[in-house]
Structure 1
Amino acid sequence: MTTRTGTRLTIFPLPGALLLPRAFLPLHIFEPRYRAMVSDALARDRRIAMIQPLPTATESEAPALFEIGCVGRIAQVEAVPDGRFNLVLEGVTRFRLLREMDVSTPFRQIEADLVAFEGDADDPEPLPSVIRAEVEIEARRFAETQGFDIEWEEVGRLDDEALVSGISQVVPFDVASKQALLEASSLVERADMLVEFLRFFGLDAGEAPTLQ
């Protein structure tokens, strides 16, 4: 639904969960309010907007949020007999939060500006070969440091955007770093940032932060 001031979106505030345009994010939905959110989305437009709470947000029912998130479309859904859902969201476009709406639903809704991110619909320019190589090299180093088992042949076959988005989503960076990757203005900027984060967070496996 679009109003004079923005687009109405149902939000799923989840720290550390990064959704990017054209990327896929698997989710297991078990809380009653978010089960209601999924049922509502399936009955309407299949859209759920992912956004992170601020690191300083209190443990309340409505923690403060970052301004930028990403709209997802339910691409796959499995309804579990006990009422839970297994979802795969496909990233559509980023958005800027304008205001939170006063609603009676158990899940939160906002008005958002999507116009500022119309360029998200366009395929990005390919990465320069040197940047692509840096991403792959640093990803391998990070995986070795953390003890991750990766099928590198499959990784090497990914296109540039899928490579950068996939690594950005799965690496255990902190909330602020995930948000910075989301807000990057281009694929090249996101790739450069990802390389720096992989180097920084991969310095010491014993001290690397994990998702909370």
Structure 2
Amino acid sequence: MKTRIDLPGVIPVFPLPGALLLPRSRLPLHLFEPRYLTMLEDCLKTSHRLIGMIQPSVVPGRADNALHRIGCAGRVTQFSETEDGRYMITLSGLSRFRVQAEVEGFTPYRRCEVSWDGFERDRAGCEEDEGFQRKAFMRLLDRYFTARDLSADWPTLEDADDELLINSLSMLLDFTPEDKQALLEAPSLATRRETLVTLIEYALRGGEGDVMQ
């Protein structure tokens, strides 16, 4: 039985380039900076225990700390402290959010006013992808792993349900932060799968030209 969480209007955010969290996925994090240790301590005092993962927004010619407008919040479901005071935590993805404004205050970490509107599907249970052609996708993935000289636990990948497979690969594969943002913002699982296929095919072409054989 799922625990209902009242979604807060303000959450701490962790800007981390290239780190992607998706609903119903898990993201391990290693916290060691003092500001993020404080963030964790404050988070664990709340009933929701939510932290928002978000990508910094790189704007040419600007050196500010802008953030993308859409991130994903996860609940701290595991944490352990090392002997030297660092923390290993796991965030379980709950829902995407849209940044309304950054909150000015005295915390060393960043906080944002957020809206959860438009992301109700994230909180409604696992998604289906009726157009998913798994065999063709696995052949493409095999080519990608071979080209990158990567190993994989193929039985686990083949047994994973559609959502777990697509979301896990979106989080784990080595794409640029902007590509990760595109995967995050995909409005549905099918759209995310289409984006993922496009990125894999592009990587196989080496960014240009014909697909590598």
Which residue type is aligned with residue 116 of structure 1? G
Which residue type is aligned with residue 16 of structure 1? G
Whether 1:167 aligns to 2:169 is yes
Identify the residue that residue 208 of structure 1 maps to in structure 2: none
Q: State the SS of the aligned residue for 2:133.
A: helix
Identify the residue that residue 82 of structure 1 maps to in structure 2: 84
Of the three residues 44, 47, 55, the one matched with 1:52 is: 55
Q: Deviations over 1:14-41 (max 9, x none)?
A: 0100000000111111111111111111
Which residue type is aligned with residue 49 of structure 1? G
Instruction: Pick which of 80-89 and 66-75 moved more.
Output: 80-89
CA distance in 2, matches of 1:114, 1:17: 20
CA distance in 1, matches of 2:201, 2:135: 14
Of the three residues 138, 141, 154, the one matched with 1:139 is: 141
Deviation at 1:78, TM superposition (A): 0.9
CA contact (8 A) 1:20 1:165 kept: yes
The 3 A distance-change label for structure 1 pair 98 and 170 is same
CA contact (8 A) 1:124 1:186 kept: no
Query: For 1:121-140, what aligned pairs fall within 5 Å after superposition?
Result: 121-128=123-130, 130-140=132-142
Q: Deviations over 1:96-132 (max 9, x none)?
A: 0000001100000000001221121123442236533
The 3 A distance-change label for structure 1 pair 118 and 172 is same
Identify the residue that residue 183 of structure 2 maps to in structure 1: 181
Q: Deviations over 1:184-207 (max 9, x none)?
A: 0110110011011011123339xx
CA distance in 2, matches of 1:179, 1:196: 14
Of the three residues 141, 154, 157, the one matched with 1:155 is: 157
Which residue type is aligned with residue 87 of structure 1? I
Q: Deviations over 1:74-110 (max 9, x none)?
A: 1111111222110111000000000000110000000
Q: Which segments of 5 or more consecutive residues in structure 1 lack a partner in the other structure?
A: 206-212
Q: Deviations over 1:156-204 (max 9, x none)?
A: 1111000000000011101111001000011011001101101112333
CA contact (8 A) 1:46 1:73 kept: yes
Identify the residue that residue 32 of structure 1 maps to in structure 2: 34
Q: State the SS of the aligned residue for 2:118.
A: helix
Aligned-residue identity in percent = 37
RMSD: 2.3
TM-score, normalization by structure 1: 0.88
The 3 A distance-change label for structure 1 pair 40 and 130 is closer
Identify the residue that residue 109 of structure 1 maps to in structure 2: 111
Identify the residue that residue 71 of structure 1 maps to in structure 2: 73
TM-score, normalization by structure 2: 0.87
Instruction: Pick which of 81-90 and 130-139 moved more.
Output: 130-139
Q: Which segments of 5 or more consecutive residues in structure 2 lack a partner in the other structure?
A: 208-213
CA distance in 2, matches of 1:57, 1:75: 37
Deviation at 1:8, TM superposition (A): 0.4
Which residue type is aligned with residue 45 of structure 2? A
CA distance in 1, matches of 2:25, 2:126: 13
